[in-house]
Amino acid sequence: MTTTPQKALGFFGEDADFATLSEVTDAARAGLSPDVRDFLDGGAGREVTLRRNRQALDRWAYRPRVMTGLGVPDLATSFLGIPLGLPILTAPFGADGLFHPEGHRAVARANAAEGAVSIVPEAGTHCLEAVAEAAPVAARIAQVHPMGRPANFFALLHRIEDAGYDAVCVTVDCPTAGWREGNRRHRFNLDPAVISGNYPASGPVALDEVFGQLFTRTEPVWTWAELGERMATTRLPWMAKGVLTAEAASAAVDAGASAVLVSNHGGRQLDGTPAALDQLPEIAAAIGDRAQIALDSGIRSGSDVVTALALGAEVVVIGRLAAYGLAAAGGAGVRRVHQLLRDEMRTILTLLGAGSVRELGPAFLQEVRP
């Protein structure tokens, strides 16, 4: 007997009839030009860190409990006070208009339909207000970069508050753009239109004034003390994204962060860093229960999500997977990514003998080394 895969209906008539996440990825890659495909797929330098992210996830094996008498696993949780139907946030990947005209507006609508939450980018195609208007239930966290003139930073924080966001994601590992060989090989030049949603040409702040430092450093990198002082001007809780060491995690919490996002930027910033997953234990030990922990970098399946949660993350953040869904079929593609992740996670939790994602811990895993 054959079954028909569940379909996710799009917002512009797209039909996401994908049976697996690999089909989503294949469809997305087939529809992108080589330079944009490499922009999405590639990493920094020789892509050592990109490979390490995958290798770290593959190094863990499950230790299932059987005959538990448990019912259907519960995937619901919360993060930064925000309820989630899935332990998933979508990453603030910029240049979203390269993958679909609606960009993060479509991502947020898909998240709202599937119980996930968006981290909305500063360097996005659509302004943070437009994304919030598209799906206020899902557009709950807004990203900022701690660089440039403090006055511009404060103005952005005020916009985030006024637009109804519940939290802020501060990306701390991007004071300059990573050395990306693939982009250079393709002579890839990013169209300013796909990152200028929050800084239109007619606006009070010029795009180059904000993001010019990513390519030509003109001002010193901020310190944790400066970031803490500046974030104290908002009433919203904030998360430090791009933390890879116990020292950085402790500094973030001391500066006022309510959460840390353990991340190496998906291998796109500093090549040669450890896999994000490998850093979870030392970071969890360093901050204890003083802050929540999220993880991104390398997540490609529901199995990866479960592994990350068992090792100490409370939620995971998906970037490339969400972008692949967007490129494959717009909002319908992102919805299908969530549906497939949900179905796989439920299957794995059932076979593991875990009643909910909140029960997951190291006892469900063992490390396997060659």
Q: Is the pLDDT at 29 greater than 60, yes or no?
A: yes
Q: Is the pLDDT at 84 greater than 60, yes or no?
A: yes
Q: HSE on the CB side for 194, CA within 13 Å? A: 15
Q: Which of 87, 22, 18, 72 is nearest to 335 (CA)?
A: 18
What the block records as the tokens of 16 is 């996401």
User: What is the share, in percent, of the chain residues with pLDDT greater than 90?
Assistant: 82
Q: Is the pLDDT at 206 greater than 80, yes or no?
A: no
Domains of the chain listed by start with CATH number: 8-364 (3.20.20.70)
pLDDT of residue 214: 64
Q: If pLDDT is split at 50, 70 and 90, which confidence band does 182 have?
A: confident
Task: Report the predicted TM-score, pTM, of the whole model to 2 decimal places.
Answer: 0.92
Output 263 or 17, whichever has higher pLDDT.
263
pLDDT of residue 14: 52
Q: How far apart are CA 94 and CA 28, in angstroms?
A: 17
Averaged pLDDT of the chain: 92
Per the document, the length of the chain is: 370
Q: Is the pLDDT at 19 greater than 60, yes or no?
A: yes
- Do 41 and 29 touch, CB atoms closer than 8 A? yes
User: 344-364, pLDDT tens digit by residue?
Assistant: 999 999 999 999 999 999 999
Output 256 or 148, whichever has higher pLDDT.
256
Q: ∠ CA(293), CA(316), CA(26), 5° rounding?
A: 160
Catalytic pick among 100, 104, 265, 338: 265
Q: How far apart are CA 192 and CA 207, in angstroms?
A: 8
Q: If pLDDT is split at 50, 70 and 90, which confidence band does 146 have?
A: very high
265 given a catalytic annotation: yes
Q: Is the pLDDT at 283 greater than 90, yes or no?
A: yes
DSSP 357: G
Whole-number Cα distances in Å, 63 to 113, 189, 311, 316, 347: 33, 47, 13, 21, 15
pLDDT of residue 217: 63
Q: Is the pLDDT at 23 greater than 90, yes or no?
A: yes
Residue tagged 């010193």 (tokens): 220
pLDDT of residue 12: 40
Q: Is the pLDDT at 331 greater than 90, yes or no?
A: yes
User: 116-139, pLDDT tens digit by residue?
Assistant: 999 999 999 999 999 999 999 999
Residues sharing a CB contact under 8 Å with residue 92, sequence separation 6 or more, in sequence order:
119, 120, 121, 122, 124, 143, 169, 171, 241
Query: Which long-range contacts does 249-253 make (Cβ < 8 Å, 24+ apart)?
Result: 249/283, 249/286, 249/287, 249/291, 250/286, 250/287, 251/224, 252/172, 252/224, 252/291, 253/287, 253/290, 253/291
How far, rounded to the nearest angstrom, does the alpha carbon of residue 221 sit from its chain's CA centroid?
A: 23
pLDDT of residue 213: 64
Q: If pLDDT is split at 50, 70 and 90, which confidence band does 154 have?
A: very high
Output 3 or 113, whichever has higher pLDDT.
113
